[in-house]
Amino acid sequence: MEAFVIGTGIISPQNTSNGKIFPVVPADYQANHITCIEPDYSQWINPQQLRRMSRILKMGTSAAVMALNDAALQKPDAIVTGTGYGCLEDTGIFLTKISELREEGLNPTPFMQSTHNTIGSQVALLLKCYGYNQTYAHGPFSFEQALLDTMLLLEENPDQHILTGGVDELTTTGHAIQSRFNKYRNNSANTLSLFSVPAHGTIAGEGAAYFVITGKHNGKAKASIRAVKTFNCEEKSQAEENVREFLRQNNLAPNEVDLILSGKSGDVAADQQIDKTLTAIFQNSSIGAFKHLCGEHCVASSFALWLGAMILERQEIPEIVIQKNAHRPVRTILIYNVYFHSHHALILLRSCLPIKN
């Protein structure tokens, strides 16, 4: 089933909320975590409503409204959201109060706003959308599961317009807990710039991206989503075979893929595995990366989908993304995301622009 992206909205650690493909000078960081550049949310949400929203709700809801505005659509037929950890800030507040107040006299609001489906529910309330609403909390496959659900819905009813997104936030407590497992690079005064090559250690990140996706090409689609696949493996040979099988299932030869957006994160062992896999399969394709711009988080592939859609729409690859440039037109993009060695995800995108002779 082919699905078409007709609207995008994103808030990320880069200045992407203005809708352009990329800022002329990307934001640079020196720490082992990066957070979103937050715009003036009152552009999309009533200030009175903003006061009652947590940070992740502001990001997610604003990205959703941005996507609808971009698609010139007032209300979607369904909302599908992917999030790895949900509303971490409210979860932390609730758990802290349980400890401090010894489980007595607790404020119910942080608990109600701590659940994973709070983001999708808030978007639905704001838009008065009473249709299908689903949240996937499948760890690093959360956004891919949301995309798969979206494509199944559109297979049944191609005329629908579905608002699909991926949202995760980075909090001080959450980052501290995950750092205990040595997930991220050591933070020190001598930490290399985020854009240094190669990076030395994974950068923690966050972001919110929503897309308006439909089953019929209306002539204004930015990109088409041809296929989505997830798999678990740690061996290079297994990863390579899974990628080759994905291409075979979609009737594609490796040299027909113009650009691969890889989820290299700065983890040396994982990045070497990705490089070996891509080098073995794609000799004639351009190769780029995206996590040095959005950081590592469970729905980082939503940033890659936004980036891929913009590249296909504008036929321009930002210099900061390119690792190997084959200098060829970009009509087919393969997003290959890897989350801490074992979680692999593939998203196949295709241009909707007419082929020029």
Query: For residue 11, which amino acid is it?
Result: I
Please tell me the least confidently modeled range out of 164-168, 321-325, 347-351: 321-325
Q: Are residues 77 and 118 part of one domain?
A: yes
Please tell me the least confidently modeled range out of 4-8, 177-181, 279-283, 348-352: 177-181
Assess if residue 114 is contained within a domain.
Answer: yes
Q: Are residues 102 and 206 part of one domain?
A: yes
What tens digit of pLDDT does each residue of 258-283 get?
A: 999 999 988 887 888 899 999 999 99
Joined together, the tokens standing for residue 30 give 């020196």
Assess if residue 346 is contained within a domain.
Answer: yes
233 close to 301: Cβ distance less than 8 angstroms:
no
Distance CA 76, CA 306 (A): 19
Domain end marker among 214, 248, 264: 214
Q: Are residues 256 and 204 part of one domain?
A: no
Assess if residue 173 is contained within a domain.
Answer: yes
Q: Are residues 79 and 104 part of one domain?
A: yes
348 close to 245: Cβ distance less than 8 angstroms:
no
Spell out a b/e string for 21-60, using b for 16 or more CB atoms within 10 Å of the CB, else e: ebeeebeebeebbbbbeebebeebbeeebbeebbbbbbbb
Q: Are residues 264 and 337 part of one domain?
A: yes
Sequential DSSP letters for 183-218: -SPPP-TTPPPTTSSS--SPPB--EEEEEEEESS--
The percent of residues in the chain predicted with pLDDT above 70, rounded, is 92
What tens digit of pLDDT does each residue of 37-85 get?
A: 999 999 999 998 898 899 999 999 999 999 999 999 999 999 999 999 9
The total of structural domains in the chain comes to 2
Q: Are residues 248 and 165 part of one domain?
A: no
Question: What's the whole-number mean pLDDT along residues 214-226?
Answer: 93
- Where residue 193 falls among pLDDT bands split at 50, 70, 90? very low
66 close to 10: Cβ distance less than 8 angstroms:
yes
Q: Are residues 200 and 341 part of one domain?
A: no
Give the pLDDT of residue 113: 72
Q: Which of 33, 37, 54 is nearest to 45 (CA)?
A: 54
Q: Are residues 143 and 289 part of one domain?
A: no
Question: Which residues, other chains included, contact 206 with Cβ-Cβ below 8 Å and sequence gap of 6+?
Answer: 13, 34, 35, 36, 168, 169, 170, 295, 297
Angle at CA of residue 8, ends 90 and 231, nearest 5°: 70
Domain end marker among 180, 214, 248: 214
- Where residue 186 falls among pLDDT bands split at 50, 70, 90? low
Q: For the whole model, what pTM was predicted? A: 0.92
Q: Which of 337, 321, 350, 143 is nearest to 242 (CA)?
A: 337
Assess if residue 219 is contained within a domain.
Answer: no
Assess if residue 355 is contained within a domain.
Answer: no
Bigger pLDDT: 27 vs 318 = 318
Give the pLDDT of residue 176: 83
In this predicted structure, the answer to whether residue 187 has a pLDDT above a threshold of 50 is no
- Sequence length of the chain is 357
- The range of the structural domain enclosing residue 12 comes to 3-214
Question: What's the whole-number mean pLDDT along residues 335-354?
Answer: 92
| Arithmetic mean of pLDDT over the chain | 88
Distance CA 325, CA 327 (A): 5
Give the pLDDT of residue 122: 93
Q: Are residues 253 and 203 part of one domain?
A: no
163 close to 211: Cβ distance less than 8 angstroms:
yes
Torsion of Cα atoms, 94 then 295 then 30 then 59, to 10°: -50
> CATH no. for residue 282?
3.40.47.10
In this predicted structure, the answer to whether residue 357 has a pLDDT above a threshold of 70 is no
| Cβ-based burial of 357 (10 A; exposed 0-12, middle 13-18, buried ≥19) | exposed
Q: Are residues 170 and 140 part of one domain?
A: yes
Give the pLDDT of residue 198: 40
Q: Are residues 115 and 237 part of one domain?
A: no
Assess if residue 357 is contained within a domain.
Answer: no
Written in H, E and C, the secondary structure of 29-65 is CCCCECCCCCCCHHHCCCHHHHCCCCHHHHHHHHHHH
Q: Are residues 178 and 98 part of one domain?
A: yes
Please tell me the least confidently modeled range out of 89-93, 143-147, 301-305, 332-336: 89-93
In this predicted structure, the answer to whether residue 182 has a pLDDT above a threshold of 80 is no
As beta bridge partners, residue 213 has 5, 162
- Where residue 137 falls among pLDDT bands split at 50, 70, 90? very high
Domain end marker among 165, 182, 214: 214
Assess if residue 103 is contained within a domain.
Answer: yes
